[in-house]
Structure 1
Amino acid sequence: MGERDEDQEHGVEPARPPLTEARAREMTAGLHEAMDDVRRSVAVLAARVRDAHAARVWVPLGHSSWESYCRAEFHIGRAHAYRLLDVARALAAIHGAVTAGTETSRTRDTGPSTAAALDYGLSQRALIAVSSRADVVAELITRRLAKLAHSGLQALDTATVRAVVRQAVRDVRTAPPPPPADPLADPAVVALRAVVDDLAANSHAIGELMLEVAPPYLSDTAAADVLALLCDQIGEPLDHGLAARRYAMSGDRRALHGTVL
């Protein structure tokens, strides 16, 4: 009795009963459902942001710009306000590509109205990452869907369209940036550039792994505490892991300078 009182006095939680496999699966299913809800809300938010911006909703409310409207109404800063637009534009480009890609093979799951409402399972971070290359993503989706439609080998149902969209976004996110319009002819320079591109692509993949463990809202200091063990286990220096994490968040290779590059 005295020992239990002492534990309670010091804030020690009582031992929990062991988790059963059935309960663990139930909790995991709940997490999947919650994550799906978050992804769906991204699509809804993007559509409403796009409509509000196109209608210049800030004008009748007496605001001078989209930025000032977002600050006054939603208490978010300039960067966040324009990130919302980036997400909306990227998703609009994807919707357009899905509609174009399924034009030749309409099914009950892939009509234009359904395409606009389809949940692609894309996170806000993924949409932001490809927002500057939304045209590339759209072209890739359209081409792949059209190829599937013409082949007749696979029905363009919701699951197929969703998989094509997600793969296209993933491919563009992980692809190295295009070479300059007038690349240097020196083979050594070309080879070195290819090595740097490979390092950057690998670092981006590592950064994505780091973000799964240490989400973007954590500072570098807090992330270091979380990632130290992971980096040790995979044989990656902690400063390299943190740099890769910053690169995955920003897409800016300068995040790798002084560590990986």
Structure 2
Amino acid sequence: MCRSFAPQGTAARALIALSSRSGDVAELITRRLAALAHSGLKALDEPTVRAVVRQAVRAVRTAPPVPPADPPADPALAALRRVVDELTASTYAIGELMLEIAPVYLSDTDAADVLALLCEKIGEPLEHGLAARRYAMSGDRRALHGTVL
């Protein structure tokens, strides 16, 4: 029986959002699969391939935006830009965890009901948790404006 690989849910949306960067994703997947093949792994099972694709998509989606042609002359500004990029990448990872608890098919209102207790337990405002969830769904940093960033 031949099964085709068709990404579903968040993975499918992520690939659609990355259509303009498909070369970057393909390059990462190729390098990671080649590394696995050279590591002595005899066969690649579906979960392994899925994990490689998920990691490549995450790496490209959470990559910091292309820096300006002229890097900031002020070292403090350059350091702050790096911190913001790290915060954004961490927030994306938190958003993915939020999506595991409140899947993408839930509205923000329904997700708020599900995530309220979790956000309270981790000491994060609910709005920050919802913003991280929206960022993980969209890959668009604007989802974080006014909350985390």
2:44 equivalent to 1:158:
yes
Measured in 2, the distance between the counterparts of 1:120 and 1:166 equals 13
Cα deviation, residue 193, structure 1: 0.5
Measured in 2, the distance between the counterparts of 1:185 and 1:118 equals 50
Cα deviation, residue 124, structure 1: 1.5
Which consecutive unaligned segments of at least 5 residues does structure 2 have?
none
Measured in 1, the distance between the counterparts of 2:119 and 2:144 equals 16
* The one of 131, 138, 142 aligned to 2:19: 131
Cα deviation, residue 120, structure 1: 7.4
Letter in 2 for 1:194: R
Q: How large is the RMSD of aligned CA atoms in angstroms?
A: 2.6
* The one of 117, 120, 125 aligned to 1:237: 125
Which consecutive unaligned segments of at least 5 residues does structure 1 have?
1-113
Measured in 2, the distance between the counterparts of 1:128 and 1:253 equals 17
* The one of 56, 62, 67 aligned to 1:174: 62
Identity over the aligned pairs, expressed in percent? 71
Cα deviation, residue 259, structure 1: 1.0
Measured in 2, the distance between the counterparts of 1:129 and 1:233 equals 32
Count matched residues.
144
User: Which structure has the bigger radius of gyration?
Assistant: 1
Which residue pairs with 2:78 in the alignment? 190
**Cα 1:171/1:219, change in 2 over 3 Å:** same
Alignment of 1:1-261 (within 5 A): 119=5, 123-147=11-35, 151=38, 153-155=39-41, 157-159=43-45, 162=49, 163-261=51-149
Measured in 1, the distance between the counterparts of 2:73 and 2:42 equals 44
Measured in 2, the distance between the counterparts of 1:239 and 1:142 equals 38
Deviations 1:164-183 (A, max 9, x none): 43432333233333323332
1:148·1:156 contact (CA, 8 Å) conserved in 2? no
Relative contact order higher in (CA < 8 Å, ≥ 6 apart): 2
